[in-house]
Chain A
Amino acid sequence: MKASVFDMLGPIMVGPSSSHTAGAVRLGLMARKVLGGKPQEARILLHGSFAETGKGHGTHLALTAGLLGMQPDDERIRFAPKLAEEAGMNIIFENVNLGEVHPNSVKFYLTGNNKEKAVIRGASIGGGRIVITEVDEFTVEFTGEYPTLILLYADSPGMIAEITKILAQAGINIAQMRVAREGKGKRALAIIETDELLISEVIEKIKQLSKIERVMFIEPLS
């Protein structure tokens, strides 16, 4: 990726580390977006460098702040645990070995207010940039830099065509797209990163498709 002026001077962020602090806030924010709201319970597994030097870099505070919906430049990040407590959020951290993954990896097990659940794994890959690598047992790869549509459906011929037709009709351009499945005719997952934001009618139309099990739309991180 070509650097821009504001990759060299920026981001504006709360320190001390773009990867261990700013990136960690964004991972928390992304996990919250995948869940679709404020988590009530969070079990957060820290791997590698996040586990080893996380405390001194405020990684715990940053992940908590992200779950609270704060941005990486929010000066309240250092008070995140207290704010989480006030918000009735119950968070536990564990240091673990997640195996052959990026050294700055984290895995969230989240439960929302209405008992909805989400499992998200991601990594902070430098300069505050992140990549989400797992959502609810599915291996994925998206950065949160684009509007992202995550679709869970029964694998069948023509599904992708139907989905992309809805997007095309709404004038939405696809930037990146990945498709994976558990096996032929079994559950499949599509990750579609778009140039434009999706309005709720478009998301509803996709939800109406017969084989669709779940639709998640994640707005880009700012």
Chain B
Amino acid sequence: MDSWDGILQGFSVALTPTNLLYVFFGVLIGTVIGVLPGLGPTASIALLLPITYTVEPVTAIILLAGIYYGSMYGGTITSVLLRLPGEAASVVTTFDGYQMAKQGRAGPALGIAAIGSYIGGTVSVIGMILLAPPLADLAVSFGPPEYVALTILGILLVTYLGTGSVLKSLCMAALGLLLATIGLDPITGTARFTFGEVALFNGLDFVAVAMGLFGVGEILHSLERTDKVQAVTSKIKGIWPTRKDFRDSSGAIGRGSLLGFVIGVLPGGGGVVSSLASYAMEKRRAKDPSRFGKGAIEGVAGPETANNASSTSAFIPLLTLGIPPNVVLALIFGALIQQNITPGPQLIEQEPEIFWGVIASMVIGNMMLLALNIPLVGVFVQMLRVRAGILAAFALLVTMVGVFSVNNNAFDMWVVLGFGVIGWLMKKTGFEPGPLVLAFVLGSILERAFRQSMLLSGGDLDIFVTRPISGGMFAFMALIIIVSAITSRRRKAVFGRVDPADVDETDESAPDADRQVTAEGSPGADSTTDTTAGTPTDGPSGSTSTTPGER
């Protein structure tokens, strides 16, 4: 189908009253949870998964996408005002945004972030329209071996982009793959690891696993910390940036858009990596790098633009290859699978209304966000008054009742509780739930592709390396492993330099929060050192900071 026809069809889908309403809900919820500490985009999307069953697939993904990029806006607000990033991708914004707020320029910081995000999102949507159809055409020629390579690459990159121990992440990925095999064997029908439990014949319910690990697990983990959040009482003035602000940040916004788009497309990409990379790039390009960390507006504009651009372009691999590039997209992927929609190269042809509808909804959603954010920042700030205990109580109740409502089955409630315990213990012991869930979602695809490959090749493993595309991908993976093994010492040095206060406040719920310390194998990697070195270290933590804007 012609792209132009597709866009028109997309708008005809996205502009229906229901879908408009859900885009609005999505971006609103996204902004709110971006503001609220203790509930990140991953946890919120996990909590809202049951709702997606009551609506059409396209509406569901429109809602979830809205939450994802909406949270990128919301996270900015607390980063700037309280040096408390509501979600991981906004950590970088605290560097200069909070300094701007201390200088009484919170308004312009938030304004330029909203405008930059809008531009980044829009550029990314345009890029998606141009890039996605040819990529899907290419992917149609992919056979099972290519899918094996692509899936493993996705899992590998997510494990490598986490913090700390790659080994732990790999271990969790293996556990996720193993959990995915529970249930009836798709080919022979043999019951595997079900222990005679009929409720397990269809496998562990993805929603229950995700809600347990991210919803319950993260809430419990954040409850254990008793951070107090100060409410911002003063008015924020002068949101619309001055002409000078625009002039100063226009370059950063332009570069951030492109950079964010490119990083978002790569497996393992997404908000955090791109905002770090953009910050490092702006600092390196600046005539006077010492201004960074002291309230340089480019340091807010670039990363905020980039994280929004990447959270949009991250949908490209999902919708064209059927491979979720990060954990949030894995949840959206799971939601689609539950609706009997398999994202992949055929999606554009077979379900054009989903593909183009989502794209069109992003155009609308970004406009809504701009319209919401510029005048309503003050209202969102008041959300900070909601106390963590209240939030946790209601979030847990919604989780429990919500998971029941999916299958009207109390067994799923126990699964959620079980995985909640596991998720909390994983957090305590330094295992990340992200790779587990991603692997769990991709497990059945990987197994099927692997078995098909074996049938194709007559049991010869050479098939994975002799075909050019899968061979290339495996070569790339080998490269990542070798490079990271060599540079692992340096990686540790970088890791040690991150201000604990910044890390501490972020990882409340976003499992990818820890990724602010990025690893090798991504464009952001080489710049990490610069970025973390630029971390302002004044003030022990965001929670003790003074209320900005008082002067």
Q: Do A and B come from one complex?
A: no
Binding site for A on B (CB under 8 A): none
Binding site for B on A (CB under 8 A): none
